[in-house]
Every structure is written in structure tokens, then in C-alpha cells.
């Protein structure tokens, strides 16, 4: 639907007013009563509940549990991120589609959403299981004025935005595991896959792919993932309004993105460290077959994870897979994640 589409304008009128007569709708939209009826039927076919109240008119009684572009946009405060939404009921991977659109020149902020992904992609070549109509699979196209080497900061900043958005649903229970896994009660609830189209010294586009397990039930997770992954619904017992969550995430992403570009990553570190489940812990980081062990000091001004070795030397880590050394692992509380999450 677009703004000039009569069905979209009809929906706008129904949203604004409690009950609207067919006659008023016909006048406002400049189309016949028969055409109004046809568009009402079309909207009903898309899952909108529109009740006809005797002698009074039409009433919007419910909207479909679908991440429809118009429904996201009407809930947004953000001015750029999520203002244009490309929607798929099913696609291979929103990251793949977003990168294609980015190369075709799509504007910054464009959000690609899918209700289901057939080849959802995770970090380090893993997959991301993406059952239909229960969670959020979205990829935002960004065109930041950052050098390519700083692009990982976008993933870290995005993790902060996801954590803030989840915090509103489960206060005090959200943590981040470097670089960008979001955990709820120690189990992975969201993951981020950032991909880049760049020249050696210039970023053309970054695709920020985010998967958040919102209303998935236990059976949405493969048996081996059940002890280490969760959804907001499983953890809180409450169904999440996926549209409200998606719009709130766009708002949070825009806020951290603007701050990152204006003030640098340093402005986000203190809050990031407060969410980190690794601060002060002994960890091992695996990166391309190379292992580094040390106590986590926190993030440095570029977003690298700083480890303090047994000899007191500080080693900044740029990328890798982190596991906590020995003993009880707080990042895996309630059987929480070693790696991966809703998928690998």
C-alpha cells in the first residue's frame, strides 16, 4: 500500500476516528460507496478487522499480526531508519535482499523485513533459524561516513539499541555478549550480522541485519539450541507486539547511530559496558584458529575488547568468538549461550 492508494487512505481515516460512516469516507476519499466497500473487503482479506456498526459506519477493530510497512511507519519516531520498508512474507535472507537493494542505490535507512527466511544467515558462517510470523528478521541499509575499519562499531552500537529496546520488556534481565549477542536471562535472544559494501577507504553501504526472537515457542528452536536460546515470550510469559517492537528498535537504532556518527564510539562505551556480561571475567577468544586468554577489562574507544593477560599485558581484540574460562559461566546462566543463539 502507498499513501496515494485508496485502501491506505481509508485505513488512515479509520485509524484517526473511532467510527466513520460510509458516506463520510466516500466524501473524504472522493470515491463511491461501492468502492469503499470493495476496499474494506480488500483490507479484511489482508487481515484487518473492520467492523460495520449498524447505522454508524466502519470501525477498525484489529490489525493483522504482520510487520506491514504502513503499520511500522505509523508507529515510528525515527526520521530515517525504517521510513522506507521493503516487506517479504518469505525470502532467502533479508541481508541478501538489503545488500542487493543497497547496490541498486536504495536510500539510507531502508529496512528490509521478512516474516520468514529460508536461508537466514548468522555470524561466522552459521545459519539463523527463522520461523514464520513469530519474530523479527530485519536488515537496515546504512551509508555511514565512517572509515571501513570502524564499521564493527556499528554492530556494537546496534547491540546497544537492541538491548535498550529489550530492556523495556524485561527490565534488568538483558545483557550483551561481545561483540553483539543480546541475552535475556543469560540465553541468546537476538543476534546481529553486519555486512559491508566498501572500497579500501570508503564505505558505500553497510547492511545491519538483526534477528530478535520475539514470540517463538520452544519448538521453534532445534533441540540442541533449546538450552541456550530463548524468545522474549518464553522468558517473560507475555506476547510481544511485534510492530511496536520493530518501530521502537528503529527509534533506538537511529538514536545510537546518530550519536556514534556525531560523537564517536566513546560516547556509547559506558552504557555498553553496563550491559556487558563479560566485564571482569576470564575468557578465551577464538579468532581464525588463534586463541587469546585474559581477563576482560572492557571496550576501548574503537570498540575492541581489551583483555588483560596473566603477565598484565593488555591485548585489544578486534573480532572473535568468546567463551568464559572454567567454572560457573554467568553468561550461560539458566543454560545460556556458549555461542550461536536461535541458530548457528
Binding site for ligand BTN (CB under 6 A): 93-95, 117, 120-123, 126, 128, 137-139, 181, 191-193, 209-211, 341
Query: Cα(231)–Cα(224) distance, rounded to whole angstroms?
Result: 15
Query: Cα(144)–Cα(281) distance, rounded to whole angstroms?
Result: 33
Cβ 38 to ligand BTN shortest distance, Å: 36
From the centroid of its chain, how far is CA 113? 10
Cβ 139 to ligand BTN shortest distance, Å: 5
Cβ 131 to ligand BTN shortest distance, Å: 12
Which of 43, 35, 37 shows the shortest CA–CA distance to 15?
Answer: 43
Of the two residues 177 and 304, which places its CB atom closer to ligand BTN in the complex? 177
Of the two residues 39 and 110, which places its CB atom closer to ligand BTN in the complex? 110
CB-count burial class (<10 Å; 0-12, 13-18, 19+) for 220: buried
Query: Cα(210)–Cα(341) distance, rounded to whole angstroms?
Result: 13
Which of 310, 251, 253 shows the shortest CA–CA distance to 284?
Answer: 310
Of the two residues 94 and 165, which places its CB atom closer to ligand BTN in the complex? 94
Of the two residues 20 and 193, which places its CB atom closer to ligand BTN in the complex? 193
179 cis-preceded (ω within 30 degrees of 0): yes
Cβ 112 to ligand BTN shortest distance, Å: 8
Report helix, strand or coil for 78. Answer: coil
Of the two residues 60 and 98, which places its CB atom closer to ligand BTN in the complex? 98
Cβ 214 to ligand BTN shortest distance, Å: 12
Amino acid at each position: 500500500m502507498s499513501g496515494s492508494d485508496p485502501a491506505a487512505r481509508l485505513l488512515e481515516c479509520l485509524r484517526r476516528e473511532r467510527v466513520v460512516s460510509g458516506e463520510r469516507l466516500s466524501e473524504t476519499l472522493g470515491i463511491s460507496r461501492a468502492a469503499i466497500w470493495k476496499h474494506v473487503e480488500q483490507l479484511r482479506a489482508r487481515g484487518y478487522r473492520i467492523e460495520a456498526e449498524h447505522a454508524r459506519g466502519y470501525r477498525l477493530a484489529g490489525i493483522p499480526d504482520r510487520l506491514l510497512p504502513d503499520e511500522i511507519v505509523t508507529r515510528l519516531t525515527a526520521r530515517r531508519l525504517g521510513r522506507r520498508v521493503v516487506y517479504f512474507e518469505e525470502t532467502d535472507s533479508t541481508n541478501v535482499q538489503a545488500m542487493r537493494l543497497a547496490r541498486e542505490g536504495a536510500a539510507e535507512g531502508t529496512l528490509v523485513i521478512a516474516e520468514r527466511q529460508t536461508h537466514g544467515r548468522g555470524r561466522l558462517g552459521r545459519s539463523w533459524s527463522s520461523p514464520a510470523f513469530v519474530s523479527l528478521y530485519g536488515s537496515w541499509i546504512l551509508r555511514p561516513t565512517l572509515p571501513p575499519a570502524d564499521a564493527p562499531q556499528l554492530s556494537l552500537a546496534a547491540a546497544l539499541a537492541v538491548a535498550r529496546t529489550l530492556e523495556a520488556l524485561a527490565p534488568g534481565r538483558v545483557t550483551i555478549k561481545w561483540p553483539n549477542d543480546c541475552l535475556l536471562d543469560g540465553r541468546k535472544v537476538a543476534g546481529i550480522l553486519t555486512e559491508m559494501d566498501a572500497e579500501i577507504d570508503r564505505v558505500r553501504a553497510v547492511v545491519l541485519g538483526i534477528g530478535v526472537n520475539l514470540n517463538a515457542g520452544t519448538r521453534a528452536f532445534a533441540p540442541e539450541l533449546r538450552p541456550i536460546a530463548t524468545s522474549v515470550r518464553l522468558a517473560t510469559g507475555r506476547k510481544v507486539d511485534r510492530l511496536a517492537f520493530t518501530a521502537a528498535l528503529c527509534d533506538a537504532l537511529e538514536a545510537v547511530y546518530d550519536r556514534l556518527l556525531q560523537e564517536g564510539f566513546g560516547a556509547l562505551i559506558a552504557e555498553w559496558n553496563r550491559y556487558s556480561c563479560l566485564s571482569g571475567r576470564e575468557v578465551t577468544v577464538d579468532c581464525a584458529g588463534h586463541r587469546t586468554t585474559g581477563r576482560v577489562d572492557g571496550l576501548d574507544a574503537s570498540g575492541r575488547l581489551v583483555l588483560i593477560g596473566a603477565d598484565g599485558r593488555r591485548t585489544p581484540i578486534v573480532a572473535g568468538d568468546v567463551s568464559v574460562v572454567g567454572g560457573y559461566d554467568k553468561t550461560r546462566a539458566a543454560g545460556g549461550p556458549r555461542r550461536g543463539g536461535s541458530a548457528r
